[in-house]
Amino acid sequence: MSVAKKIIERHLLSGEMKAGEEIGLKIDQTLTQDATGTMAYLQFEAMGVPRVKTKLSVSYVDHNTLQSGFENADDHKFLQTIATKYGIVFSPAGNGICHQVHLERFGVPGMTLIGSDSHTPTGGGIGMLAFGAGGLDVACAMAGQPFYITMPKIIKVNLKGKLRDWVSAKDIILELLRIESVKGGRGKIYEFAGEGVKTLSVPERATITNMGTELGATTSIFPSDEITKDFLVRQGRGNLWTQIVPDADAVYDGEIIIDLNELEPLIACPHMPDKVVKVKDIEGITVDQVGIGSCTNSSLADMLLVARTLKGRKINKDVSFVVSPGSRQVLAMLGQSEALFDIIESGARILESACGPCIGMGQSPKSAAVSLRTFNRNFEGRSGTKDAQVYLCSPEVALAAALSGKITDPVKYFGKKPDIKMPEKFLIDDAQFQQPSEDGSKVEVIKGPNIVSLKQFTFDLKNNATAALKVGDNISTDHILPAGAKILPFRSNLPKISEFTYAAVDPDFAKRAKTIENGIIIGGENYGQGSSREHAALAPRFLNIKILLVKSFARIHLANLINFGIIPLTFDNPKDYDLIETGDALTFADAANILKNNEDFLIKTKNGKQIKANYALTQRQKEILLAGGLLNWIKSDSK
């Protein structure tokens, strides 16, 4: 068997390992971050479970660290107290980005992990089977419930050869995005194999699995081998290592070959991670801003490369250059050496160990700026500047641009790449992690005025709906509900944050949707790609959206829609997309009976034409929809 199938088999609670079948998995670990965690813990609290049932659950504060008002600080206190009460480790602001920190201090090869952040598959770099999920799915896992997914196809990514100087792991995942596209990974696990795997460190592997999310993949994974063991030993956790490698005769559902010897520096152009070209083909474009960091490229190895390359050099005077180390451990180890001095002396601005500009939390570029970032997403407006031209690249390409002031091929710009030697032992100081109380019954959960109790939805759709909005292909959750410093503080306040739903696409959407009894959104391919934020389903449901009718869905968003009682439909004939416009009245038979009796979902347009819509739902998923959402279904099921 493959690595992925071995771990799935050990955690399988229901279903069969046949591609396309629903399976239920036992979850060992969970993680949340503060932008999604507040809602996840409100949901967990509503379940009435006295303590988490996972082997480990960690609550990180890494998104909403900008405290420009009381809202974020209130959320942090809520997260701290609810973690103490329910048996969750709490990682406060400043401790680092959840995926980087979890890899360093908590990741265990062979375990399952789900997180309320779409880049949780970072854990695949250490040999974990790690999934991004909506907050409610994470809450259910903490309560001991299985995590349900459709059994994916396992695709072998055969890495041959070895990377050349100034070509990096980021170029491997950019090449895979160029081959597969942002929707090519739907229903797939990418498992990396071949002799090239042995040339990649755990941080390099984690860069690849982190950004594998942008493929639309279920997850990505590397084997747990001697390189994994070496990383864990240096982190003082060598006793947790287990070897997990594919069988010699492992069978895969497909294979992609990438020759590392032939790979060149690559870059993703605005405004999609799969618009990948060779750096040398677009050299010369003037650059205004460069950012190095995020959960994709903020490891100690990345930062040491930055320091060694910048030593004795100065950043171009026309470039705003920011660097954000991924964790307190990384920042502290930079501070122990001259590395931090070299970065600062070059003219760089050092940011907090947090997500920061990746989610539009500060460092928005100037109007129409060209910004090169080592991040994982470059959706339009995500930076906080709608007309910014954001490119995604490796630290190597970012450094060449920061120094030259233009997009530049680092292979030509620099000489020999410096040899980065990692320390035999990492600085280990876990004092900042706050352990939960042994007796949570005595702990008071503190909720500030911005934390609003959950609204309970019911299934109240009958036989008609109005098209509240029509959108195109590759709509991301950033389109549906933006991030950024102005909006993220309201993640625990559903009535307030719903006002921003689709604000960048149609400023009048929220106001209009409130006046519609039963709303339906019409969309194209790969609807809901990007972040796992369940608010992109919750807020539309709060605004009376009852149905999504699109050409295809992204995995996590599809699950979130079901979790909050929105019926996910796809066009049987994609050409029927052209038959509906915003404002159209649509009719159909009683929706509840259609789902209960497994009948065809036939929708009549205002012009009298009939559209067939498909729903590939399991019996469990139909019951969740009819209950008004997953939380209602769990409560009724437990009676």
Short-list 136, 97, 100, 34, CA closest to 483: 34
Q: Where are the beta strands (DSSP E) in 194-246?
A: 219-221
Please count the CA atoms within 13 angstroms of the CA of 334 that sit on its side-chain side.
28
Buried b / exposed e along 41-65 (16+ C-beta atoms within 10 A): bbbbbebebeebebebbbbbbbbbb
In whole angstroms, give the CA distance from residue 465 to residue 302.
51
**In contact, 588 and 602? CB cutoff 8 Å:** yes
Q: Please give the full DSSP string across 87-122, using - where no structure is assigned.
A: T-EEE-TTSB-HHHHHHHHT--TT-EEEESSTTGGG
In whole angstroms, give the CA distance from residue 553 to residue 524.
9
Buried b / exposed e along 450-483 (16+ C-beta atoms within 10 A): bbbeeeebebebbeebbbbbbbeebbbbbbbbbb
User: Which are the contacts of 226, defined by CB distance < 8 A and separation ≥ 6?
Assistant: none
User: Which are the contacts of 41, defined by CB distance < 8 A and separation ≥ 6?
Assistant: 32, 59, 78, 79, 82, 83, 86, 139
Strand 112-115: give its sheet, edge to edge.
Answer: 89-91, 56-60, 29-33, 112-115, 129-132
**In contact, 77 and 84? CB cutoff 8 Å:** no
What residues are labeled active site? Answer: 62-63, 117, 377, 531, 533
Tokens of 23: 């399976």
Residue carrying the six token digits 């009381």: 70
Residue carrying the six token digits 């991004």: 132
In whole angstroms, give the CA distance from residue 212 to residue 214.
5
DSSP state of 16: -
Peptide bond before 271: cis, by omega within 30 degrees of 0? yes
Buried b / exposed e along 421-438 (16+ C-beta atoms within 10 A): ebeeebbeeeeeebebee
- CA torsion angle for 232, 54, 133, 502 (degrees, to 10)? -120
Which stretches of 48-90 are DSSP H helices? 70-86
In whole angstroms, give the CA distance from residue 587 to residue 608.
10
**Amino acid of residue 439:** D
Residue count (the chain): 639
Short-list 34, 76, 15, 26, CA closest to 54: 26
Q: Please give the full DSSP string across 273-292, using - where no structure is assigned.
A: TT-EEEGGGSTT-B-SEEEE
Short-list 455, 495, 432, CA closest to 631: 455
Beta bridge partners of 603: 611
In whole angstroms, give the CA distance from residue 343 to residue 323.
8
